[in-house]
Chain A
Amino acid sequence: MSAENSNGHLQTRQLPKEFLAAAVKRANELSLQRAERPYRPSSELKFLLEVQVETAHMPLMLVGEPGGGKTAAAYHLQHELMQKTQREGRDANVSLHHISCHDNLSPREILYRFDHLARLRAATDGKVIPEHLVGKTAEWLATVAQNPDLATSPEFISFAESVIKVVELSHIQAKTLLDPMSFMVYGPLGEAIIRSINGEESVVLIDEIDKTPPGFEDQLLEVIEHLIFTLEEAGLSVAGNKELLHIIITSNDQRELSKAFLRRLMVHEIKFPSKKELEAIVHDHLPQVNNRLARAAINFIIRLRNELELNKPPSTAEVIQWIKVMQAYNQSAESIEAYEVPLLEMIIKDNEDRRNVEDYLRRRSY
């Protein structure tokens, strides 16, 4: 976050450390809460997730309307895997790495980046032998040159041994410090692959891959199929464990993905839930919901979706939020049944749709 001061210079607004720690903690909590949110996958999706984890070990791409539960499916998978590992008495640390795609995202960014600056700093620091030691060595060398007998004195041997140790140490330190592997900063997918090598289980969510620039997915073919990627700076290729890394990809179909990429995935379309399924989903999310209000709202949504051709039909997530807010503001089921529908803005976002729905409501309310 930045702001302009009176001199017109940009200044960075610092977040106090105690707040930063709290914010990071809160973010982690939210991520876990998201995984624990109720989610009711269709029997088909449930089975395909099982196939993905147990036998196929290949990424699953979910397509369908926005707000239909594609992203939530990945969090659900994480939650299910954590529960499974807990049941089996193993460490329930299944991490979720959420990659939100955008048009500037590069494939390498999600795998790793090499921190060149840190390595340069380390190289400079590693070469320096303390100045006082250099000076003292020069003094001893001059003294021993004048009086060779002193070369066998316990004082000199002790000093020489300590210098060699320091030099050896600095070499070892330099070797370790300058090892390229120490400067790899892993992206979400890279980190999950490294975790899988270490025997830790992860779910990677590549969310809205259709927002990436064309050709993005073609640079990930090897990673997607074999979990192999090359760390160029170290001259190494590493391969993850497919049984421990589960990739979920979502797409809203804004651009066509390459055939080579698609052939390496399973694809499943999440359909809008049936009336009965939607009722159950609403009850899962809002256990205290007024049943009549929920039923009236769901009936209305189903009618809208069936009778009007909407550019952006209300999604499951929007319906849940809408019912939640209606309940909070004591809206009645009767008003919806009489086609006097409150808070339409929460479910109808497109201007043309809004005109159509208002027209529909006028006709029905006569």
Chain B
Amino acid sequence: MTVTELSSNLEQVPSQTSFTNLLYLLRDKGINVSTAEWLNLQAVLGRGGIQTMEQMYQTSKAMLVKDPSQYPDFAQAFAQFFELSSNNSDSEEQNADPSSANDTGMTADDLALRNLLLQNEDQEKKVQTAVLATPSTASPADVPEDDNQVEETETYGQQTEKPEQANDSTSPSLLSKIREESESRKQAHEQESRRKMYERVLRRLKNKLTSTTAEITDKLDVKGTVKHIAQSGGNIVPIWERAVNIQPQLLLLLDVWGSTDIYVDEMADFWKAASKMLGKITILAYHNAPYGEVWPVEDGNRPIHPIPLSKLWPQAANTKLVIMTDATMPLDRDDNTGLYNRHDINFDHPRLAGAKPKEYRNTGLENFQLMGQHYKRAVIINPNRQRDWTHGYAGTTTNHSLEKIRRIFPMFELTEKGLNNAIDTLLK
């Protein structure tokens, strides 16, 4: 069936605005569709540009959703509004969600148009099925040669052998598309948009950091001075050497293990984005509080290559420090991981040869304070949202530790706004 043939079916399309409640449903889901965008979609619908339910899905997605991370929410709202879910589990999910009640507010005209779009969808699918069933149309690339391809071909085969599936009121291809958007891609989209947000913010930091290069030193550039004298006809002007690599460095310190485990994805994404955007940065780890030592993040949750804190101080003046922690821990703990605890360190470890035991006698809080003294530009990024900072971890009163640490370092939440504010503070 051609598009022209299909469009003859659409002569019954009502002239007034259609599917108005989809607009409100989308807005309820956080997709802020404007009136102008909605009217643009109506114009395309009115001109007969949309013939099938799948085309309705594709066009409305392109015209109403401008951020791909919202595709999953859009897919859910679309399926809910047009009542496309035929799957039992989907229905259960819908019933469990009070906002997705059966009454989607479709008018009689809306229902007629919905049915028409579905009917056209089925007719088009029949045509496609017939085309797929014709062996001569297969291209060389369609010929299966390995296991995966055989599976894919079998999927097509099911369609060709069971054309009655296409007569279902719900379109399998559209449904599978919606399921793909709303389930499997949701996590990937969230991660992708999070990474992009981190990169956007870190790009700002990078631009600021790299603009502070090429400062004049107190060392005379002899060659440059002689060249200038020769070029300027004997006019003596001293040319000073420029230090080009004195830009401030960045140290990222991650609080690993325990209460921060639930933020591991966000922290790993931030770490990756920072490595990507800022090149060679130092990323170290600690648990709860720094008890005399930190370790390379590659070591994981425990120090395999411990680095005494005192080794960090020489570079601290030129380094900006970003600590990523939820700053949540008991003040005292039996296993010595509280804020007021100090660790018993095994000084026999070969990596600690030469380290002075007194460096390790500070409590976690004292070491945070020591860091605050050495790093003049330091911030804490808290992956926990600010609204929850007063609640403490798992209903305990460990938010006391957060308040104490927050007095040493300005603290910002791990959101675009929080990161921008943190960067402003670092660059002051």
Contact = CB atoms under 8 A, between A and B. Distances in A.
Interface of A: 44, 47-48, 51, 54-56, 58, 60, 63, 253-256, 259, 262-269, 275-276, 279-280, 282-283, 291, 295, 299, 309, 311, 350, 352
A267 B59 contact: no
Interface of B: 34, 36-37, 40, 43-44, 47-50, 55, 58-59, 62-63, 65-66, 68, 71, 139-142, 145-146, 148-149, 152, 196, 200, 203, 272, 275-276
B407 to A, nearest CB: 34
Given A48-B62, A263-B34, A268-B62, A275 B43 contact: no
Nearest to A50: B49
Residue of A54, A63, A266, A267 with highest tally of chain B CB at under 10 A: A266
A147 B272 CA distance: 99
B410 to A, nearest CB: 25
Given A47-B58, A267-B65, A56 B142 contact: no
17 contacts: A44-B58, A48-B62, A51-B44, A55-B48, A56-B59, A56-B63, A63-B68, A254-B200, A254-B203, A256-B200, A259-B66, A275-B152, A276-B142, A276-B149, A283-B139, A283-B141, A311-B276
A266 B141 contact: no
Contact of A352 (B59, B71, B140, B276): B276
Contacts of B276: 311, 350, 352
Contacts of B40: 56, 58
A60 B63 CA distance: 9
Given A51-B44, A280-B141, A263 B148 contact: no
A261 to B, nearest CB: 9
Contacts, number: 77
A77 to B, nearest CB: 15
Contacts of B152: 275-276
Contacts of B71: 269
B196 A48 contact: no
Contacts of A266: 59, 62-63
Contacts of A254: 200, 203
Residue of A55, A254, A280, A283 with highest tally of chain B CB at under 10 A: A55
A47 B47 contact: no
B146 A299 contact: yes
Given A60-B62, A254-B203, A263-B36, A283 B146 contact: no
Contacts of A282: 141
B59 A51 contact: yes
Nearest to B140: A283
B66 A267 contact: yes
Contacts of A47: 55, 58-59
Nearest to B71: A269
Residue of B50, B62, B203 with highest tally of chain A CB at under 10 A: B62
A56 B203 contact: no
Nearest to B152: A276
Given A254-B200, A276-B149, A299-B146, A48 B141 contact: no
Contacts of A54: 49
Residue of B44, B71, B196, B200 with highest tally of chain A CB at under 10 A: B44
A109 B147 CA distance: 54
